[in-house]
Amino acid sequence: MRIRLIAMFIMICLFPYTVYANGLEWDKLDQISDEALQLTKNDRLQEAKQLLEYFEKQFALFREDIHSMDVIYVLTATHEEALRAVTASSVPTEQRINQLTQFRLAVDAVHSKHQPLWKEMKYAVMSAFDKMKQAMEQEDEQSFQQAFHQFLQRYELIEPSVKINADREQVQRVSAHISLLEAPAFRQLHATERMKELRQMEEDLQVLFADGKKETTLPSLWWVMTSIGGMIIMTLTYVGWRKYRGEKEGKMVRDKQ
């Protein structure tokens, strides 16, 4: 009986109920978001709309099991934008596809913790950033602004996903860099200071795209497994000691008789 209780405790600690959000249901939602994107690319907007509405109903079934309000907010916001994009005829085709891509990446970010799709956008984002650096080195303000606009378009595609499963402090650092570059005061800085800011921003972007989640997750998992393993050993030792003590006391009683 004790062994069964211990086994149940291990399952609860290692695989809590909230993991349900990363199980078969998320496989289904992940597939729905991908199909909605493909339909939108093929201009089959009515079918894409129906899939997005179906997603909303399925998501509502276990929304309460997701304990992160940030995740719920990001998924709700990107879903609403995606639904609006396929519903309103006035939305340009490129913007419509971008909205569905943003939603698709956000769903995947919840589903894929260590290898999310948004990290595959690294080359697209960093190539735009390289153009910014080149324009800055050549002191070409017009080319810099064009490259910066391109960078913002690409980064905005992954920003909701980044907020889901990237390090929060690192996300804030990148956001701070972007805010500085958007500010009119940035243009007033000396060229040396502007390049210094871009180099620091490049470092922070590289860290953002780096695969650091696995390194931070595994130690805590090993700690849980080690702790539970220690509890099992202690419990079995205690049970064995009780049994040995009981047998010894019984022998002493029989000897006295």
Q: What is the residue extent of each domain of the chain?
A: 22-111, 120-209
- Give the C-alpha distances (Å, rounded to integers) separating 147 from 102, 151, 154, 180: 20, 6, 11, 16
pLDDT digit string (tens) for 80-106? 999 999 999 899 999 999 999 999 999
Asked if 105 and 118 count as a contact pair (C-beta separation under 8 A), the reply is yes
- The letter for the amino acid at 148 is F
- Give the C-alpha distances (Å, rounded to integers) separating 186 from 59, 129, 180, 201, 204: 43, 16, 6, 14, 18
pLDDT digit string (tens) for 152-200? 999 999 999 999 989 999 999 999 999 999 999 998 899 899 999 999 9
Tokens 């260590």, residue? 114
